[in-house]
Structure 1
Amino acid sequence: MTATDAGGRARRSVAARTGEGVLDDTVPMRVVGHLAYRPGPTGWRHSIRTRIMGAILLVSMLTSTLLGASLSEQAARQSRENLRQQAVTKLETVADSYRLDGRVRLGATTDPQAPPQELVTGMEVGERRSYYDGETMWATERLGRDVMLSVEVDGSGLREQDARRFRTLVLGFLGAALGSLALSWWMGNALSRRLRRAATAATAMAEGDPSARTHQGGQDEVAALTRAVDSMATTLQRRLETERAFTADVAHELRTPVTGLVSAAELLPDGRATTLVRNQIGRLRRLVEDLLEVSRLESGSEVAQLEEHELGDLVDRTVRFLAVSAPCDRVELRGDSPARVLVDPRRFERIMANLLVNVQRHGGGECVVTVVRRAVVVDDDGPGYPPEIVDRGPQRFHGTGEHKGTGLGLTIITKQAETMGATVEFSSSRSGGARTVLRLQEAL
């Protein structure tokens, strides 16, 4: 590719770079063009949807656990009571039979060592006790000083009931967890989706799309918020339309008298005062032309005539042509692997001209233009873009830097890029200067 200096002389670049440092993803960039809302880096842990899900899940788990444990405990006590009644009934039958004929029946025993010692310790004559040791229900009655009658009932059925209740409790717990999780997901997602729509509309408005709306109904607080956002968008759109119409009208009204001033200035005799007048009239004419161009671009009536070009050759030809007017002290071209792109040459020339003029005014007059595949990167040696341009993009009539201007140059760049279906990124280069990346559509 070709490198040109301010005098218009052309020379070949000694070396071609591979794009080192051109597209540094670690540097935050502002994409102006095809805009879309992307959530901030809050993460799922800070999402209101996650918090709603967590709250509902926690409450349902606590409720199901406490209720299940309470019901299970009541059922266990009732089962043990039924088993105790069986043992007591069996003991009564065995005791009555023993009193009649002195015989022990139904598997009963008079051995005082057979039942658990916790059951028989300290028993008095005529006293009856029952005890469950976790496997067997015991019932014992002291019939006399030396006679202690004991019966036992197997507690395997009780253990099986406890196991079934535990399984039922676990299944109920899991069912409640899944149900509450699904319900909380639905509720949280519905609320979060409505809030995200409002955030999307608000972000789109902040990016310069006043036609964005939430289009949501309802009577709750979120609906009130979205209606407020829509109302704000409508008001903002009206104000912007009024401002644009006023700007276009002013530019059209000024065009005729400015043309007359240019013609009249050409008739003045040469001199220092005449040169000063002509320069100021020239600045006024360029301002009016920029205003008219911005008005046309913002009206949406502009249609790009896209053609297929090899990006490296296109940049080379464009910079050669612009070097005739010497917009910068030095322009160096570098490139690697240029692609074929869809571009409107006239609009591309306008973008490059404004970029080089911006370098001349604010970037120290020296820049490096690099082609990487379908992107054109312009780096200068100036102080870099102000944070407001990196964060929000250029705004017309909001000039920044040491030599504040109208802010129309960068605005024209973004609008012309949008018309071609391209995007523009504003950031800082590794050397600290301003970096502008123009990404074009790659030809199929």
Structure 2
Amino acid sequence: MQSELFKRLVMVVAAAAVTTAQKPLLAAKSPVSDVRIECNSNDIVVSIFTSSAFNGMIYPKGLSKNSTCMTEYSSITAPVKYRLPLRSCNTMSLEEDQDIEYFNTIVVQPHRKLVTNQGRGFHIRCKYQTREKAVNANFDVSDELPQLREGASQLGTTPLTATAPMPTCTMRIYSNTVDKTVAENVKIGDPLTLDISIDEQDIYGLKAVDCIVRDGLGWGEQPLINSEGCPVDYEIMGPFNYSETKNSAKVNFQAHKFPYTASVYYQCNVRLCLKHTGGCDDVPPVCEDGTNLRRRRRAVENATVTDLETDDEPVIEVFHGLYVNEGEELPEDDPNGPLSRDDLDEDDILCISPRTFAIAIAIVGLLLMIAVVVAIMVIISRRRRRKEASAAGSSIYSGPYTNTAYSHSS
């Protein structure tokens, strides 16, 4: 079912062109002659015009390997159309006032297997504007609710239709709640705050349900909050803390990610409840083992009474995406942990890049091999000299020789 959030989005620019930052990327060798984009409620359609039939691939930047977001084309005539989803494939959003801007960078490679210098990157942006929308809520008004029976023509059950503007609902993830800094690039374990809020008014309250985190590639997702508004795994995310007016809900958690991608997408359904009819009485929910105890008890007690909180209550789908990078650090109280820079003397600090370290190791290894070869050659040379000297100093006969057969005395 298409989310209410995107039903409320109105495209500011009907047909947006490539931004000025993209124009220098169109080099003479590039087969791309023009790029046009179409901003839809669920995706961005990128039309690429080429000088000849296109044989290549198009993918978001950083997702060229084993990615469901990469599309291959074979002998496609212009225009080549590529669909870029708004809620995955590294597409991120930036919300300002009443505007939401979605942006991404796609790479057009004119070869299906190789990355060549003819490949070009294009920055894609679509801007949307939210607008107010009326919502109708139907009630059954009887003698049990005299405060809602004003203007009724007769006693008994009288249908009443309440019309109120739909409040704007937003989800933001803050890395600093004091400065209201929206998280964009964080590390694993960084403290974050997920904030869901609606406009300040006295009619509607909110309840966050069905929250999940997805990888943006369609490969994996993890439930966070179930359909009753209770946490699924307290180690990942705890319960929401609601404001007194029930117009906002916050939860603190630590940044996490999937092992194969840096982009994560958080998505929640926001149920709007009517405050003056008691529809928000179970907010916040009392949870135990993933079950809303208050809602279950209320359902038993009011089994014979018409529940004003029907399945037709408005539901708004909100989401937020960010990048989470890997960064492992030992606890501060770990005695075996690494020393900080302040704990070291200036003479003890030596910074070597990995490339320089690898080159140094290779040079040292080569010198050791040369030294071993030289040592072997010296040993062989000494042994050879000893053998030659021994052969030159030896003889069959040594000492004076006298022939007694020819000797005579006078």
Question: Is TM-score (shorter-chain normalized) higher than 0.5?
Answer: no
TM-score, normalised by the number of residues in structure 1: 0.19
More helix by share: 1
TM-score, normalised by the number of residues in structure 2: 0.20
Work out which structure has the larger RCO, using CA pairs closer than 8 Å and 6 or more positions apart in sequence: 1
**Greater gyration radius:** 1
More strand by share: 2
